[in-house]
Amino acid sequence: MRKVLLRSAAVGAFAALGLLASGVPAGASAESKGTDPVGAPDAGTPTVQVTKLSHSQATSRLRSSGITWSSSGGCSNRNNPRCTSFEQVNLATIQGAQTLKSASRCALNVTGGTETGHASGTYSHWNGYKLDFSLSNCLNSYIRNTFTSIGGNKWRSGSGNIYYLESNHWDVTYYNCGGC
């Protein structure tokens, strides 16, 4: 009975905050580039409560870990697809990047964050679950040799995060912080 009451209280709290059960803000804007090829996590993938960061908070954390970022437009406006923005990124996503940097010891450069122009979906860039990383021999080797290939140019980490090799970057879906 106590579990049911606690669950009801949690659901009520999410509703009061305007959040969906997934932790995604109700009415969150969809992105404009189609459906996300990665999709939802497997049933066994652990999830965490979503905490959103500002662009400044995210860049401070990335900088402290030696992770760089760049954009084709040299900007951080979330509504401009040529920018790289971290506005409304999930804390677990940034922590996941920090975990990847620490574990791989590779140089990491983020080329895509929460800006518009990526595929839509619950676990999308816009909703704060994804980052794009530049390709590098170090990162390519680390992902391919450390994580489990699940087909379709995708690898799953031990924590359930998905690393998808697109033509010119790694598209990473962080369902959690990767063991932070």
Q: Residue 56, CB half-sphere, CA atoms under 13 Å: how many?
A: 0
pLDDT bracket for residue 46 (50, 70, 90): low
- What pTM did the predictor assign? 0.75
pLDDT of 11 higher than 70: no
> What per-residue confidence (pLDDT) applies to 180?
83
CB 65 within 8 A of CB 110: no
Task: Provide the token pair at 148.
Answer: 């489990």
CB 94 within 8 A of CB 87: no
Per residue in 108-122, pLDDT (tens digit) is 999 999 999 999 999
C-alpha 123 chain-centroid distance: 8
Residue 81 and residue 103: Cα distance in Å, rounded? 30
> What per-residue confidence (pLDDT) applies to 129?
98
> What per-residue confidence (pLDDT) applies to 12?
36
pLDDT of 80 higher than 70: yes
pLDDT bracket for residue 139 (50, 70, 90): very high
pLDDT bracket for residue 10 (50, 70, 90): very low
Q: Which residue spans within 9-129 are E strands per DSSP?
A: 52-53, 68-69, 89-90, 109-112
Give the number of other Cβ atoms within 10 Å of residue 139's Cβ.
Answer: 20
User: What separation, in Å, do the N-terminal and C-terminal C-alpha atoms of the chain show?
Assistant: 33
Per residue in 87-136, pLDDT (tens digit) is 999 999 999 999 999 999 999 999 999 999 999 999 999 999 999 999 99
Task: Provide the token pair at 45.
Answer: 């993938």
